[in-house]
Amino acid sequence: MSRMPWVAYAWPGLPQLARDGNWTALAVAFVAAALLNSILLGTCVWSELVAPELRIICWIVLGSAWCLSVGYSVWIDRRRKSQPSGTDEQLFERALEEYLKGNWFEAERKLAMLLRRNDRDLEARLLMATLLRHTKRFDEATTQLNLLVRMDGAHRWALEIHREGELLNQARQRNITSVTVDLENRVAA
């Protein structure tokens, strides 16, 4: 994980935007720019339209929000650094290895870590949906597939996503059938 230059923390949302391409961070950066420009216009250009007391309050609120944003960015960066080392690819390989061994808990833990790092990781989300299907958590698997379908780049995995959806529906039907048979056997006994 590359280190973010310290100057990037000076603008709200910029570190998350540069590192993750996060849409929320883009919105935060845009709102920060709009507020700064508005307050600058109200102070320097149209100072007769804004009362001096209101200008002071606006600058204090903007400065406080700016400082909180810098603190939040630093906190997020430190939290990321405290996560286990290794690249996302290495972590995915370890998760896949655990999945193939049938160690569902460890595989899910590693995949959840990957998705916390990057919630737009298509491969990790697809593997998570598959794992959830194997552990008979069909609603959660469906949620993962629905999220996956709406992501940029999902078209590259369209065949796999479609196949996983079919397998999920088949597994759900088998589960319903087995529960029904089990109930009938209990009633008959």
Q: What is the pLDDT of residue 109?
A: 92
Query: CA-to-CA distance for 128 and 132, rounded, in angstroms?
Result: 6
Q: What is the pLDDT of residue 36?
A: 92
- Does the structural domain 88-188 have CATH classification 1.25.40.10? yes
Query: CA-to-CA distance for 19 and 165, rounded, in angstroms?
Result: 32
Q: Are 175 and 136 in contact (CB under 8 A)?
A: yes
CA angle at 96 for the pair 89 and 148, rounded to the nearest 5°: 75
Residue-range domain boundaries for the chain: 6-82, 88-188
Q: Which two tokens stand for residue 25?
A: 């961070």
pTM: 0.54
**By C-alpha distance, which of 137, 139, 160, 136 is closest to 149?**
160
Q: What is the pLDDT of residue 1?
A: 43
Residue 86 above 70 pLDDT? no
Q: Are 108 and 28 in contact (CB under 8 A)?
A: no
Positive or negative CA dihedral for 113, 10, 151, 147? positive
**By C-alpha distance, which of 169, 117, 173 is closest to 145?**
169
Mean of all residue pLDDT scores within the chain: 86
169-180 pLDDT, tens digit per residue, is: 999 888 877 767
Cβ contacts of 154 within 8 Å, gap of 6 or more: 122, 148, 161
Please report, to the nearest 10 degrees, the dihedral formed by the alpha carbons of residues 121, 158, 163, 99 taken in order. Answer: -20
13-22, 53-62, 142-151, 174-183: lowest mean pLDDT where? 174-183
